[in-house]
A and B are shown apart, each in its own frame.
Chain A
Amino acid sequence: MDIPVSEVSGVVTFYSFFSTRPRGKHTIRVCLGTACYVRGGKKIVESLKEKLGVDIGGTTEDGRFTFEVARCIGACGLAPAMMIDGTVYKQVNVNRLDSILARYKNE
């Protein structure tokens, strides 16, 4: 395309949806927008870190999940919310996480 690497890198690293590492099969984005934060999104993040064994931005060893936090997915009325690929899960609590993750484990 005749574009310097520096420019490509500049654009890629600027936006959070671009990645330079291989991603997991599914992307989990836990919303940490204000409403979700107020309603306990932080606890979901902590719990997922433990369950998946990866930090924010990481991909699980089996390549199944990439774990990220999102700034606001616009589901504030359903806080705390998280998104796996295109699906929004509403009013998530720590006890529901296992059953949600299980849906993606057997594919």
Chain B
Amino acid sequence: MTTNTAETIKTLEQLNAVGKAYRDEQDKYQYRVYVCAGAGCISSNCGAVRDAIVNEVERLGLADKVRVYEAGCMGTCAVGPVMLVLPDRTFYTELSDKKAREIVRTHLSGGQVVENYTFFDQSVGRHVPVIDDIGFFKHQVKIALRNCGAIEYGDIRAYIASGGYEAAYKVLREMTPEQVVAEMKTSGLKGRGGAGFPTGVKWEAAMKQQSDEKYIVCNADEGDPGAFMDRSIIEGDPHTVIEGMMIGGYAIGASTGYIYVRAEYPIAVERMKAAIEEARRRGLLGEDIFGSGFDFDIEIRIGAGAFVCGEETALMASIEGQRGEPRQKPPFPFQKGLFGKPTIINNVETFASVPVILAKGGEWYAQFGTESSKGTKVFALAGDVVNTGIVEVPIGIPLGEIIFNIGGGIPNKKKFKAAQIGGPSGGCVTAENLNVPTDYENLKELGAIMGSGGLIVMNEDTCMVDTARFFMDFIRDESCGKCTACRIGTKRMLEILERITRGEGEEGDVELLIELGETIQDTAMCGLGQTAPNPVLSTIRYFREEYDEHIRNKYCRAGVCSELFVSPCENTCPANVNVPGYMALIAAGRFVDAYNLIRQENPFPAVCGRICTRPCEKKCRRNQLDEALAICDLKRFVADYAMKNEKSYKHDIVFPKNGKRVSIIGAGASGLTCGYYLARLGYEVDVYENEPVAGGVGTLRRALRSNNRARSDDHVRNIGHGAGGGGSARGRRAICPWNRAGSDHQRQGPVQRSVHTR
């Protein structure tokens, strides 16, 4: 896209002229269409959409009215491919080539917005055509992401036209390194890679080092699973990273920069390469930039798939071509870093914020955020949330706002359980803490960390023990093996967690995990190891009861640890009814058998079939395909069917009388159920009830009252037996002598679940 007339830029006039020429060119077009070409939209085939628009524009002869650009990630990855139409700022989502052609005809040619293809805001239940009205965007403050998705990533002129490289000019020509450092300190910017060390302080330390050579490194080894903001910035706005590094290089006195990108991001590598080459052609990288006498150039280093290389000392070892193993600090990198020279390593997002800070001033930047954590932070919102994608917010806004106002809440009417923040070094934030401001200090107090900004939302279907196991598996795998605490400690922790999720957990396991975790925190050498136990300790802190359930009851309430149950529906049923069993019997046409199978666990299938809240259906695997099986309705059906078939009562197995009597106070659902099963086990049972109608205060009673069918189906019969007034001290009457279920009724069935009410 660069024109052949690319001239080198040496002066501010030349810089401004390039920007103005680009803007003038843009103004010639009535419509400018930005098609998102972020990694997400590429995998949704945005290329086809772009081609369709270009072809249709040409076919309709609109080429001088409409210009199509490729922009970086706009943030809403889940609804890609997306595009933005300027100047009216209409935001189209989930495009296809067919839809795109229609938009060209109706909107770009006809002037009518195609509202059906615009963003559908689930929280308000309608399409919201203008991007600035969409909840996802309007609560954001974009600084690091200011150009991401808003400009053409592949053209340096677009970056210059939006104010790019002006900060670099100002810094190189008008400021001393000391002034740059001072401005950075005023801004309060902290390293966005995770540790949160103040950038200005770090730069100052490197600036003061005496050395013939210094390096500045951009850490784009975004290894945290669940984080993809660095990727989006590099792919959508590579020049801001170059400019940020240039300013940093000037401040500390480095003339060489390295960008360490992970190999998993081929598109980021490609675009960054192109941007660096273009900057070189324009003289914005190389010797004597802006005639200031300052030389600076950047090289890309591609990682080879090792999480630990995101740790700064390991990253430097990797750039040097060695195993990416961390080493002890001190000496810190600013003293003795890459190739033994003073080195500053900052994260992509940190560098992306630098040009704005220098252009608008540290004070301006410091107005955002909280007292101790200034500015904005980019989060990668993913997991069980409606609007997954990239968001940038002022530091300190409550997590709940990010998840519910911007993220649009949890899809499929599921419940929020926890947000995992900070990746494998982070922890969980639970529902009680959704109002806590997300800044570095508060998150730390909650046992999580800001980290690089990966924010994974988890719903009720997530097992926290399994999540801890997942992270520990990750860390165990990625541990470089240099220090014992991390190498062996994480393996032992993983073994314990695996045992628990298999249902082989023992008392004391949780205590052992805590002890191991704290030891690793204290003794591991690098940041990766020291933070490795965090996900486990954090889940123990907030979800201890889930660990205990796994260990003591062999029960996984989320239905994830598959070795603890047969099926998710049965696992979640409070009565543990064998749902797959009776579904299969129904499918085979054996309705009465299905009914009897249900009655093994639940004596009131017909009532249950009418009133149950059906937790089983929420967990039904079929949901993933279309919708849940109608488990509850089928239960009602077999119960009603069995009602017509008295034979069904013959098959209950009853133990011989054991000569023991049990009295049950209260003929509610549990009283009646206990009575039923105790009678089957051979006890003589009396149920006492104060009310004239059995069924307790709950739904069972309403069902018994309102529905004859349910009543008789479940054998709840009035047998007119007072049981000799053997009531309790409160004068309750014995209403249900279940000893009637004895030999008299053996033929009819072992248990007359008979309740006397009068």
Binding site for B on A (CB under 8 A): 10-11, 14-18, 29, 32-40, 70-79, 81, 83, 86-90, 93, 95
Contacts and interface: CB of A to CB of B under 8 A. Distances in A.
Interface in B463-517: 467, 470-471, 474, 477-478, 480
Interface string B522-533: 000000000000
Contact of B305 (A16, A34, A40): A16
Given A78-B77, A79-B382, A93-B624, A35 B43 contact: no
A72 to B, nearest CB: 4
Q: Which of A15, A81, A86, A89 neighbours the largest number of chain B CB atoms within 10 Å of its CB?
A: A15
Given A72-B224, A76-B382, A16 B44 contact: no
B78 interface: yes
A76 B307 CA distance: 17
Interface string B302-326: 0111110000000000000111110
Contacts of B263: 17
21 contacts: A11-B323, A14-B325, A15-B303, A29-B264, A32-B225, A33-B225, A36-B225, A37-B225, A37-B470, A74-B222, A74-B264, A75-B39, A76-B228, A77-B40, A77-B76, A77-B380, A78-B77, A79-B382, A79-B383, A86-B266, A89-B43
B140 to A, nearest CB: 15
Nearest to B324: A14
Nearest to B389: A77
B39 A39 contact: no
A87 to B, nearest CB: 7
A89 B388 CA distance: 16
A78 B40 contact: yes
Interface residues of B, number: 55
Given A77-B228, A90-B40, A14 B223 contact: no
Given A17-B263, A71-B223, 14 more contacts: A14-B325, A17-B303, A34-B226, A35-B226, A35-B388, A35-B456, A72-B264, A74-B222, A75-B77, A75-B228, A77-B77, A78-B77, A78-B80, A79-B383
Contact of A76 (B226, B321, B478, B624): B226
Contacts of B382: 34-35, 76-77, 79
Contact of B307 (A32, A38, A71, A78): A71
Contacts of B454: 34, 76
A68 to B, nearest CB: 9
B380 A15 contact: no
B227 A76 contact: yes
B74 to A, nearest CB: 11
Contacts of A15: 303-306, 324
A33 B388 CA distance: 15
Q: Which of A11, A76, A93, A95 neighbours the largest number of chain B CB atoms within 10 Å of its CB?
A: A76
Contacts, number: 129
Contacts of B470: 34, 37
Contacts of A37: 225, 470
A39 B305 contact: no
Contacts of B624: 40, 93
B265 interface: yes
B458 interface: yes
A11 B264 contact: no
A73 B39 CA distance: 10
Interface in B349-395: 380-384, 388-390
A17 B305 contact: yes
Contacts of B462: 38
Interface in B64-103: 76-78, 80
Interface string B24-66: 0000000000000001101110000000000000000000000
Contacts of B384: 38-39
B185 interface: no
B231 interface: yes
